[in-house]
Amino acid sequence: MRIGAVEAGGTKFVCGYGNEQGVIEDRISFPTEMPEITIPKVIDYFRDKGVAAIGIGSFGPLGVDRTRPEYGHVTTTPKPGWNGYDFLGALKAAYPVPFGWDTDVNAAAYGEAIWGAAKGQSSCVYYTVGTGIGVGVYAQGRLVHGLVHPEGGHVLTRRHPEDAFAGVCPYHGDCLEGMAAGPGIEKRWGVKGSELPKDHPAWELEAYYLAQSIANTILLLSPQKVILGGGVMKQEQLFPLIRNEVSRNLNGYVSARALTEELDDYIVPPGLGDNAGLAGSLALGLAALRGIEV
Amino acid sequence: MRIGAVEAGGTKFVCGYGNEQGVIEDRISFPTEMPEITIPKVIDYFRDKGVAAIGIGSFGPLGVDRTRPEYGHVTTTPKPGWNGYDFLGALKAAYPVPFGWDTDVNAAAYGEAIWGAAKGQSSCVYYTVGTGIGVGVYAQGRLVHGLVHPEGGHVLTRRHPEDAFAGVCPYHGDCLEGMAAGPGIEKRWGVKGSELPKDHPAWELEAYYLAQSIANTILLLSPQKVILGGGVMKQEQLFPLIRNEVSRNLNGYVSARALTEELDDYIVPPGLGDNAGLAGSLALGLAALRGIEV
């Protein structure tokens, strides 16, 4: 059986399909433009694929509360054409199959919990660190929603004592995203992070901010796995730096082997690699097909 | 039908019972001493009460994972006699009834979700601000556990630019609990918070720290209600100060009426008042009786 998946990012869309084990069998990608251009491409992609269900993990903010009229819509984004757009409705009108729908990061967290680094766990958090910072939260076997959905990239962290950078978040200046996402790194150092050497002090500072937010998340939620994905996390030297900083922040307060001897296996890259988002979307589609509320 | 409840605090124990609507019909309290003294008092209290189930909300840290041998135990507390004590086991040996078991703050969060300020909501967070700071987390209709359970009182917050106080947390110094719980207030100002006038600058600083943590929690979890209880929150002047600071921190980023026009009804005292902990424990007992996993 084929399950469709859409990973809808602010920069590019990925469409694909795969099987019930989460194996991606085909994918295409194209830039995110106005919905009038982009959504027909999505609909075209699935035309001859015979998918039994489709899961969508989308950039946000989104309406994720099934009881509200904005369910399935992209809501208050500044992205031209997408503010208030009925993304899910447009696809439902084209395909009479069950649909899964959540944020891109919640989708990735779910994919990791079903098939990836948090397989068999009932909780995990998934951070994507790229052009922005997003956090997906899976707890007690469910994806977390509430008033809206997690927006954990915008938490405030303590400023490094030697850091005078103002941050680039238009809402908060020096929130986590403003300090530690790609645009903040580039503004601070004058070059893209990918052009900085692996031993550049940028990475210690990056780890300082990410680890503080991760330690706070561990304290608040006690997740069974912390998964770090996205373009910035391709800098693998960040993982040991982040683990050390998380450990320093917690200072032994929470008694759990995962946070001491097993820390290398606790703060990890996505088990699904670059497929976390797409496979997570697929997992949402599969859950919808099976009538499982996630 | 009578349901028993134990609110086990680090300073005092409260035992009581009530009905299926959460109405507390009787209660007693006594100081928390060594378990050999305190637990027999609990057992004695329930001897002639004929309760159909008992719920326990306890100071921690606790074993809350049913699959682990430390389930039902108090774990790594410095409190004499309680480290590793099988609290639930001792009560189970005395009464062959269903037992609910969770942290005091998770119990309070659950009570508030069932009968209090978050009634009808599928998510809320409950802060207690007293001799320590604890956070209970209810999300997607479940109490959140993971590696262990939430310990959200120990998150790091940004220091107020004019504040040089070192904080009193033995693990983290100036974490939220170190700065904003009762002992921090007393150490900082030289008198107990309850003796400070309502317009003392202490309260703006208190609101500054609590609000920062609350704003971060809203961003990470998007709870449908934030409930603030505990001795320090008897200072009612804190509520408007905290709401203002939360609003300033979020700066309009999360689009939800609860965070703007309805903020006064979003960050609130416990709907169950001083009964939040005991009624929450009762609710845990009732859930256990009904076989509901919370």
CB–CB of B136/B103 below 8 Å? Answer: yes
Residue of B126, B221, B263 to mutate, interface with A, max A Cβ within 10 Å:
B221
Whether B84 and B121 map to the same domain: the answer is no
Interface of B with A in 40-59 (CB under 8 A): none
CA atoms of B36 and B39, how far apart (whole Å)? 6
Please indicate whether, in this complex, the C-beta atoms of B251 and A147 are within 8 angstroms of each other: no
Residue B220 to residue A76, Cβ atoms within 8 A: no
DSSP B111: H
Kindly report the CA angle at A183 between A181 and A185, in degrees rounded to 5? 70
Query: How many other C-beta atoms are found inside a 10 Å radius of the C-beta of residue B70?
Result: 17
Separation of alpha carbons A222 and B61, rounded Å? 12
A 10 A CB-CB count for B233 gives 20
Give the confidence band of A200 by pLDDT, cuts at 50, 70, 90.
very high
Report the mean per-residue pLDDT for chain B. Answer: 97
Q: What is the DSSP string of B120-135?
A: T-S-EEEEEESSSEEE
Q: Contacts of residue B258 in chain A, CB cutoff 8 Å?
A: 147
pLDDT interval class at A238 (50, 70, 90): very high
Confidence at A192, pLDDT banded by 50, 70, 90? very high
Question: Does the beta carbon of B256 lie under 8 angstroms from any beta carbon of chain A?
Answer: yes
CATH of the domain at B192: 3.30.420.40
Q: Does A171 touch chain B (CB under 8 A)?
A: yes
Could you tell me if residue B68 is inside a domain?
Answer: yes
Contact indicator for B17, B35 with CB cutoff of 8 Å: no
SS3 per-residue string spanning B200-253? CHHHHHHHHHHHHHHHHHHHHHCCCCEEEECHHHHCCCHHHHHHHHHHHHHCCC
The answer to whether residue B215 sits within a structural domain is: yes
Tell me: do A103 and A165 sit in the same domain: no
Report yes or no on A112 lying in a domain. no
Residues of B whose CB is below 8 A from A245? none
User: Looking at CA atoms only, how far is residue B248 from chain A in angstroms?
Assistant: 9
Q: Do B220 and A152 count as a contact with CB atoms less than 8 A apart?
A: yes
- pLDDT tens by residue, A25-84: 999 999 999 999 999 999 999 999 999 999 999 999 999 999 999 999 999 998 999 999
B40 & B77 share domain? yes
Alpha helices (runs of H) in chain A, residue ranges in sequence order: 35-46, 87-94, 104-115, 176-180, 182-189, 201-221, 238-250, 276-289
Tell me, rounded to whole angstroms, the distance of Cα B279 from its chain centroid: 12
A273 touches chain B (CB under 8 A): no
Report if residue A175 sits inside a domain.
yes
* Residue B92 structure tokens: 């189970």
Q: Which residue of B has its CA nearest to A258?
A: B147
pLDDT digits (tens, 9 = 90+) for B40-74: 999 999 999 999 999 999 999 999 999 999 999 99
The residue-averaged pLDDT of B249-256 equals 95
| Shortest Cα–Cα distance, B91 to chain A (Å) | 25
- For residues A103 and A184, state if they share a domain: no
Whether A146 sits inside 8 A of B249 (CB atoms) is no
Domain co-membership, A98 together with A191: no
Q: For A21-31, what is each residue's pLDDT tens digit?
A: 999 999 999 99
Q: Are residues A126 and A80 in the same domain?
A: no
From the list B148, B212, B258, the residue facing A254 with the nearest CB is B148
Residue B256 confidence (pLDDT): 94
Euclidean distance between the first and the last CA atom of chain B, given in angstroms as a whole number? 21
**Gap between the Cα atoms of B98 and B88, Å rounded:** 11
Please tell me whether residues B250 and B135 are part of one structural domain.
Answer: yes
Res. A294 pLDDT band, cuts 50 70 90: very high
Q: What percent of chain A has pLDDT over 70?
A: 100
The beta-carbon neighbor of A222 closest among B76, B149, B254 is B149
Residue B225 lies in a domain: yes
pTM as predicted: 0.97
Structure tokens at A256: 């759990």
Q: Is residue A102 part of a domain?
A: yes
Q: Are residues B128 and B248 in the same domain?
A: yes
Fill in the amino acid letter for A241. Answer: L
- Residue B44 distance to chain A (closest CA, Å): 33
Dihedral over alpha carbons B195, B199, B203, B207 (to 10 degrees)? 150
Which helix (H) or strand (E) segment holds residue A174: the answer is none
Cβ atoms of residues A160 and B216 within 8 Å: no
CB contact under 8 A, A253 and B172: yes
- Residue B250 confidence class, pLDDT cut points 50, 70, 90: very high
Q: Are residues A87 and A151 in the same domain?
A: no
- List CB contacts (< 8 A) between A135 and chain B: 220
pLDDT at B288: 98
Identify whether residues A263 and A125 lie together within a single domain.
yes
B112 lies in a domain?
Answer: no
What's the domain range around B76? 3-107+274-289
pLDDT, residue A134, reads 97
Residues 6+ apart with CB under 8 A from A129: A180, A181, A182, A210, A228, A229, A230, A231, A232, A233
What residues have CB less than 8 Å from A14, skipping those under 6 apart? A5, A6, A7, A27, A28, A29, A277, A278
> For chains A and B, what is the number of CB pairs under 8 angstroms?
155
The domain total for chain A is 2
Helix (H, G, I), strand (E, B) or coil at A28: strand
DSSP 3-state of A44: helix
In percent, how much of chain B has pLDDT > 90?
99
Three-class SS state of A203: helix
Residue A16 is inside which H or E element, if any? strand A12-18
Per-residue pLDDT of B198-238, as tens digits, reads: 999 999 999 999 999 999 999 999 999 999 999 999 999 99
Closest residue on chain A to B122 (Cα) = A146
B148 shares its domain with B215: yes
Cα end-to-end span (Å), chain A: 21
Contact flag B251-A75 (C-beta cutoff 8 Å):
no
If 0-12 CB within 10 Å is exposed, 13-18 middle and 19+ buried, where does residue A20 land?
middle
Q: Would you say the C-alpha torsion B139, B142, B146, B150 has a positive or negative sign?
A: positive
Together in a domain, A149 and A239:
yes
